[in-house]
């Protein structure tokens, strides 16, 4: 069951595929057969520019998300929760961090609706602007010592806006590549969306390291204003992202859909009505690797710094190395997916995540910097192996007319399940039962993903056509 699929129903918007996962029809001619995207008026966007738009935009938004996570683990407990004990301050700080996952599903619904109604390009510009404004503003929020309890409240509101924006980012970026790329290399071009997360990790780590080495890792200046520099730099990066995204055209499939006047009035409702099973299984497929990657940058980072005493500079350096490992793993996984299958490579990556779930905390608990580095770099690498093909695999499951909504719902349902519960209960599990319990929890999420991915069809070679 799930291993070999002869067809996907036509009413779901995906054409029949053969017993080996290949399309029963010839690959479409025109834009999908060449490395270009068109706006319907004869203008074309080279796939190289599409790739740059995906990686740059996603990298900037992921950078904004990562620097908040870094600050929440390293400095927010002292800046915004100074009157609490270290443990409670860290918990409160991570609480503001996870609030973004409450607004991500709202962003998925809103941006999914407009992405399917107005177009992928316009929606991606909107998500980028909202993320930029909220991130720069977060870097300007005064400390609790200055304005009192209003400080963490303002920070929480801005964090909710970040989550709202990123709720529509991943799916839109994934569709930009998937709906423009040639069928045979869709996995390769799809990698540029998850590649942005690795690039963001490298950029964020280097930025914080630069601030640390300039003003001192343990200096009062870092806690007072140094941590704000990476947030303010985001304002400069946004200009780059906007320039790139404003200079691409709409995807060929959406342009065709609009020309045929078959755009749905309620794409979210249609996706849930016609492909509810795919939404649920795609969310489950995304869940395991996302949870591991997120835990590495949130709870495990805070645990390493607060409980194990690893230095800030070590953690930032390991973050850079982890980002580089993510990039390498995504490239390998996505490239192989065009040959071996998109679903198959997700399963391979998840199989690697399973044993690493139990290894990561024991390695960290050794107290040795090298073992800590191996734990975190390995964690992000195996997660990236599973996430590399998802930007191609998940959009391929849905019909064009509601592909944005279906993809956004799936990934953001996974994000709220994997982003809220694990970091909030991990501390209790560790204190009560030990680190193995946290590993068991991570492994349980991975098993769910393995089952869900197995139940989905292979999508390599299918024709992404309008219905």
CATH number of the domain that 359 lies in?
1.20.1250.20
Task: Using the Cα atoms of residue 233, residue 83, residue 427 and residue 103 in order, give the sign of their dihedral.
Answer: negative
Give the pLDDT confidence score for residue 369 in this predicted structure.
93
Distances (CA, A) of 224 to 72, 76, 205, 206, 214: 14, 11, 19, 20, 14
Residue 450 lies in a domain: yes
Higher pLDDT, 191 or 462: 191
Higher pLDDT, 431 or 384: 384
Q: Would you state the structure tokens that stand for residue 89, as one six-digit string?
A: 């301050």
Residue 336 lies in a domain: yes
Give the pLDDT confidence score for residue 28 in this predicted structure.
39
Give the pLDDT confidence score for residue 236 in this predicted structure.
80
pLDDT of 327 strictly over 80: yes
pLDDT of 31 strictly over 60: no
Q: What is the mean pLDDT of residues 347-361?
A: 95
pLDDT of 219 strictly over 60: yes
Place of tokens 């399917």: 116
pLDDT of 78 strictly over 50: yes
Alpha helices in 341-399 (DSSP H): 342-365, 369-387, 390-393
34 pLDDT band, cuts 50/70/90, is: very low
Distance, CA of 23 to CA of 430 (rounded, Å): 48
State the total domains in the chain.
1
- Domain hosting 371: range is 42-455
Q: What is the mean pLDDT of residues 3-12?
A: 37
Distance, CA of 194 to CA of 174 (rounded, Å): 9
Distance, CA of 394 to CA of 407 (rounded, Å): 6
Q: Are 439 and 361 in contact (CB under 8 A)?
A: yes
Residue 28 lies in a domain: no
Torsion of CA 174, 180, 181, 183, to 10 degrees: 100
Residues ≥6 apart with Cβ < 8 Å to 181: 32, 35, 47, 50, 188, 189, 190
User: In a 3-state reduction of DSSP, which class is residue 57?
Assistant: helix
Bridge partners (DSSP) of residue 37 are 45
Q: Which of 405, 319, 259 is nearest to 70 (CA)?
A: 319
Residue 463 lies in a domain: no
Distance, CA of 273 to CA of 269 (rounded, Å): 6
Residue 342 lies in a domain: yes
pLDDT of 264 strictly over 50: yes
Residue 31 lies in a domain: no
Using one digit for the tens of pLDDT, what is the confidence trace for 411-464?
A: 999 988 988 888 878 888 988 998 999 999 999 999 999 999 999 999 988 877
334 pLDDT band, cuts 50/70/90, is: very high
Residue 32 lies in a domain: no
Residue 256 lies in a domain: yes
Give the pLDDT confidence score for residue 337 in this predicted structure.
95
Q: Are 92 and 84 in contact (CB under 8 A)?
A: yes
pLDDT of 183 strictly over 80: yes
Give the pLDDT confidence score for residue 465 in this predicted structure.
60
pLDDT of 160 strictly over 80: yes
186 pLDDT band, cuts 50/70/90, is: very high
How many Cα atoms occupy the beta-carbon half-sphere of 108 within 13 Å? 26
């Amino acid at each position: 069951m799930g291993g070999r699929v002869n067809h996907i129903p036509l009413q779901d918007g995906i054409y029949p595929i053969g017993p080996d996962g290949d399309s029963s029809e010839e690959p479409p001619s025109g834009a999908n057969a060449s490395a270009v995207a068109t706006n319907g008026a004869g203008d074309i966007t080279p796939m190289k520019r599409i790739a740059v738009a995906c990686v740059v935009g996603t990298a900037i938004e992921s950078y904004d998300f990562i620097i908040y996570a870094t600050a929440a683990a390293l400095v927010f407990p002292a800046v915004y929760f100074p009157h609490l004990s270290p443990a409670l301050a860290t918990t409160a700080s991570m609480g503001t961090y996870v609030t973004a996952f409450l607004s991500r599903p709202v962003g998925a619904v809103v941006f999914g609706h407009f992405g399917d109604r107005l177009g992928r390009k316009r929606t991606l510009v909107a998500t980028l602007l909202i993320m930029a404004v909220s991130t720069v503003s977060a870097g300007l929020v005064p400390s609790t010592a200055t304005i009192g309890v209003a400080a963490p409240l303002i920070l929480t509101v801005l964090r909710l806006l970040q989550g709202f924006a990123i709720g529509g980012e991943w799916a839109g970026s994934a569709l930009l590549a998937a709906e423009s790329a040639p069928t045979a290399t869709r996995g390769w071009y799809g990698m540029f969306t998850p590649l942005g997360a690795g690039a963001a990790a490298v950029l964020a780590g280097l930025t914080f390291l630069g601030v640390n080495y300039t003003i001192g890792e343990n200096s009062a200046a870092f806690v007072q204003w140094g941590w704000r520099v990476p947030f303010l730099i985001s304002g400069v990066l946004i200009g780059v992202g906007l320039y790139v995204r404003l200079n691409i055209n709409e995807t060929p499939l959406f342009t065709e859909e609009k020309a045929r006047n078959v755009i749905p009035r309620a794409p979210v409702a249609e996706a849930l009505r016609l492909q509810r099973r795919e939404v649920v299984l795609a969310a489950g497929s995304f869940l395991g690797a996302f949870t591991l990657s997120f835990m590495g940058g949130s709870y495990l980072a805070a645990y390493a710094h607060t409980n194990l005493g690893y230095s800030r500079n070590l953690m930032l350096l390991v973050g850079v190395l982890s980002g580089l490992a993510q990039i390498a793993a995504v490239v390998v996984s996505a490239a192989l997916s065009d040959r071996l299958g998109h679903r198959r490579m997700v399963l391979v990556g998840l199989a690697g995540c399973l044993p690493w779930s139990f290894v990561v905390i024991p390695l960290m608990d050794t107290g040795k910097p090298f073992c800590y580095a191996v734990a975190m770099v390995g964690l992000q690498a195996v997660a990236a192996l599973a996430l590399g093909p998802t930007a191609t695999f998940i959009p391929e499951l849905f019909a064009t007319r509601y592909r944005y909504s279906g993809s956004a719902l799936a990934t953001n349902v996974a994000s709220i399940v994997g982003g809220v519960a694990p970091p909030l209960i991990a501390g209790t599990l560790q204190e009560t039962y030990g680190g193995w319990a946290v590993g068991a929890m991570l492994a349980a999420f991975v098993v769910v993903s393995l089952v869900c991915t197995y139940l989905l069809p292979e999508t390599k070679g299918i024709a992404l056509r309008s219905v």
